[in-house]
Amino acid sequence: VLAALGRAGVEVDAGRLDIHLGDVWVAEGGQARAYDEADAHRAMQEDPVRIRIHLHAGAASGWMWTCDLTRGYVDINAHYRS
């Protein structure tokens, strides 16, 4: 998650951000927190998967929706043309 954020092409102070996977707080102030990996794994199995990133860089907020890019998704959608 942090690597993707760093490649987004905008200035981010990695030393200030917090990351949550579902309800599991995995990073605080740019550093990993102690958390139960089984809880984080369960959060990544939810539908939808919720990833929250707090930049501590102002009051603005936003949402992003994406889709399933697993091998199964590619297999299903590779057999037709639009």
Determine the pLDDT at residue 82. Answer: 61
Strand (E) or helix (H) holding 19: strand 18-21
How close are the terminal C-alpha atoms of the chain, in Å?
32
- 20 part of a folded domain: yes
Residue 65, pLDDT > 70, answer yes
> pLDDT (tens digit, 9 = 90+) per residue, 9-46?
888 898 999 999 999 999 999 999 999 999 999 999 99
Determine the pLDDT at residue 72. Answer: 83
Determine the pLDDT at residue 77. Answer: 78
Segments forming the whole domain that contains residue 60: 2-77
- 82 part of a folded domain: no
What CATH number is attached to the domain comprising 68?
Answer: 3.10.20.340
Q: What is the DSSP letter of 81?
A: -
- 64 part of a folded domain: yes
Residue 53 makes CB contacts below 8 A (sequence gap 6+) with 1, 5, 17, 18, 19, 20
What average pLDDT does the segment 47-63 reach?
92
Q: How far apart are CA 47 and CA 55, in angstroms?
A: 24
Q: How far is CA 7 from the centre of its chain?
A: 13
Total domains present in the chain = 1
